[in-house]
Amino acid sequence: MENLSDEWDRQYKAGRWHFLNDIKEAARYGILSAWLEQTATTRAVLDVGCGEATLYHYLKSSGLKQYCGIDLSEIALGNACVTKDCTWLVQSDLESFTPKPEDTFSAIVFNEVLYFCEEPELQLNRYAKFLEDDGVIAISMYTPAREKSGANRSIRKVWGETNNTDRWQVLDDLELKSYSKKADWKLRLVRPVRKPGKNFASLHPEVPGS
């Protein structure tokens, strides 16, 4: 993971990701924060692969109470402009991050990060265990131009997994098209299916750590 985080650090140092603060990216962050406001899940938000914590600023005006951002890149986290109270930034890869057992989240956001992960479907199920009962997971992923790109493989796994109605309730599902950027994103808001009297681990023993 060290090489990977060095590479992300290098890109952040070079300003490769500054464009995420542009007006042409605002709609995507706006949708994610509107979803969390509407589902009343801004109490404790975990932003996985948070980068410079751009989403934090949108969530602030949607009633955010606590924010935890995790990211591989120390430089990105160092650039984040967040207040110290009720905000935690943790340098970690998403595959090994595990919160303290007493820390649960009302919402977990995977904003433009899941295609950097080999088994995103496993991670979705692993992170679902860190949610409060009514918690939600919000996902955004752009649509790569090349059908056969590696990113597309991960993207298909994420949408395939969250299509599984035994595991996931889809609260909203949409596509965002930017004519000015000539880019498309797909965004989905899901809630893990919880059966009365059963916890996530007993329903999904196949998920590591359950």
Ligand X SMILES: C[S@@+](CC[C@H](N)C(=O)[O-])C[C@H]1O[C@@H](n2cnc3c(N)ncnc32)[C@H](O)[C@@H]1O
Spell out, one character per residue from 84 to 123, where the chain touches ligand X: x when CB under 6 A holds, - when not: ---------xxx---------------xxx--xx------
d(CA 159, CA 185): 13
Rounded-to-5 percentages of helix, strand, coil across the chain: 35, 25, 40
Minimum distance, C-beta of residue 93 to ligand X, in the bound complex (Å): 4
Q: Which residues 6+ apart lie within 8 Å of 193 measured at CB?
A: 165, 166, 167, 168, 169, 203
User: Does 172 help bind ligand X (rule: CB under 6 A)?
Assistant: no
User: Among residues 22 and 133, whose Cβ is nearest to ligand X?
Assistant: 22
Helix/strand/coil for 9: helix
The amino acid present at 6, given as its one-letter code, is D
d(CA 155, CA 134): 25
User: Does 46 help bind ligand X (rule: CB under 6 A)?
Assistant: no
Stretch that binds ligand X, among 35-43, 49-57, 81-89, 193-201 (CB under 6 A): 49-57
User: Does 20 help bind ligand X (rule: CB under 6 A)?
Assistant: yes
Minimum distance, C-beta of residue 195 to ligand X, in the bound complex (Å): 31
Helix/strand/coil for 122: helix
User: Among residues 103 and 133, whose Cβ is nearest to ligand X?
Assistant: 103
User: In angstroms, how far is CA 86 from the centroid of its own chain?
Assistant: 19
Minimum distance, C-beta of residue 197 to ligand X, in the bound complex (Å): 34
d(CA 172, CA 73): 30
User: CB of 11 within 8 A of CB of 17?
Assistant: yes
User: Among residues 17 and 105, whose Cβ is nearest to ligand X?
Assistant: 17
Minimum distance, C-beta of residue 48 to ligand X, in the bound complex (Å): 7
Tell me which residues in 70-89 interact with ligand X (CB under 6 A). Answer: 71-73, 76
Binding residues for ligand X, per CB under 6 A?
Answer: 8, 17, 20, 49-51, 54-55, 71-73, 76, 93-95, 111-113, 116-117
